[in-house]
Amino acid sequence: MTITTMLHQTQDRHLLERSWQRSRDYGLIRHSHFAPLCLSQQDFQQKQQQHARLLRYLNASLPLFEQLQQGRRCRLLFADAEGTILFSAGDPYFGNKAQKMALASGASWHEQNMGTNAIGTALNEQKEVSILGQQHFLAANHGISCSASPIVSPSGELLGVIDISSEMGEHCQDMLLTARLMALSVENALVMNQQDTHWILNLAPDAGSLQQPWSGIIALREDGELLGANRSARNWLKELDIPNLLNGLKQGELTPLGQGMALLSRQKVPRPPAAVPADTTRSKSESTALKLMARQIPLLIQGETGTGKDHLVRRLHQGCSRSSGPLVAVNCGALPAELLEAELFGYQPGAFTGGSKQGAPVISAPLTVVFCFWMKLASCRWRLRPDY
């Protein structure tokens, strides 16, 4: 495939052309073997600390990603403004070993290191992009497709990008939309939860859009001083006289504003929580459960909604010998009855329409992984083969 052919497969052929030229200028060779640059553990932890608030809001937005991309073999990544992956979630089976290494936390996807790719190109162009298969400059990355959307701070500074990556043949157009919604969700949280925020001003073309992620959000001090705004609100800022605007708005009332609507609300400023010493004590049931886990004995945790099953599982994971590995939660209640067996026990290539061309492995874990299966047994209508 020639670059001319690929240029016609992207929404902005000039963007891809510029990125390929930058890759050449960096001295990269398309078919060369490469090893991704990775941070040391100390530098990686320092970067995570710098973006702690952002990563916390991103983690809180994971249910949105899981709902929109449910059942797809893809990964959600956050890379900072230097292209370093600081967060990774999603399908643990996506990609071959080399791809998993390259997409690991701490790896750098700046264009200077990896050539044309969604993370590095979105950072350079400061706009959302999709880089599909052979549109990557390095041949080693032709097996994956990626979509990325930038995240900016309340002051407009580029913080990094949200990326969704998958195998080349399994990438969907809506993955770019999901990356955009995830980026907007995090940006909005960063704007609304700034220290000293007293007023939140929502702006939109119509009343129905005021509470949508793409509506404009402006954070203000009590005296009306601007603290920050999301990307949508910046289109309004040049036309707004905020001090006069505040005098004409009533809290909680929709107010026509130019060609749109405005809504002013009061943001309760959270007080910093008092320091609480870490709870190092364990209940008798926790101690018993940890002993069983140490002997590789599966656990069944039952309880009504709100009784703390999730909290208990996470405490057990933190206290067991496998705490260095991830805690993988499988929401069985969200799996269709017809696909439950395939998702849990794997399937062969071509077993059913829509399945992965490579099939799927049986869910199994090394000693570093704890699996948690959530289900409401009373509502189960699953029919599994008796040999399971």
Contacts with 313 (C-beta within 8 Å, 6 or more apart), sequence order: 301, 327, 329, 372
pLDDT for 268: 65
Domain boundaries, given as residue ranges, for the chain: 3-192, 199-266, 284-379
CA atoms within 13 A on the CB side of 386: 0
Q: 3-192 falls under which CATH superfamily? A: GAF domain (3.30.450.40)
Q: How high is the pLDDT of residue 357? A: 60
pTM: 0.65
CA 206, 210, 211 angle in degrees (round to 5)? 145
Query: Concatenated DSSP letters for 61-90?
Result: THHHHHHHTTT--EEEEEEETT-BEEEEEE
What is the rounded CA–CA span in Å between residue 122 and residue 110?
10
Tens of pLDDT along the chain (388 residues) come to 333 333 334 457 899 999 999 999 999 999 887 777 888 889 999 999 999 999 999 999 998 898 888 878 899 999 999 999 999 988 877 765 556 668 888 999 999 989 999 999 999 999 999 999 999 999 989 989 999 999 999 999 999 999 999 988 888 888 999 999 999 999 999 999 998 888 899 999 888 888 788 889 999 998 888 999 998 898 888 888 888 888 888 888 888 888 888 888 887 655 444 443 444 566 778 888 888 877 778 888 877 665 677 677 777 877 777 666 666 666 555 555 555 566 566 666 666 555 556 665 555 444 444 454 554 444 444 444 444 4
Q: What pLDDT, on a 0 to 100 scale, did the predictor assign at position 285?
A: 80
- Residue 329's pLDDT is 62
Question: What is residue 24's predicted lDDT score, i.e. its pLDDT?
Answer: 95
State the DSSP string of 245-288: HHHH--TT-EEEETTEEEEEEEPP-PPPPPP--------HHHHH
Q: Is residue 123 within 8 Å of residue 81, measured between CB atoms?
A: yes
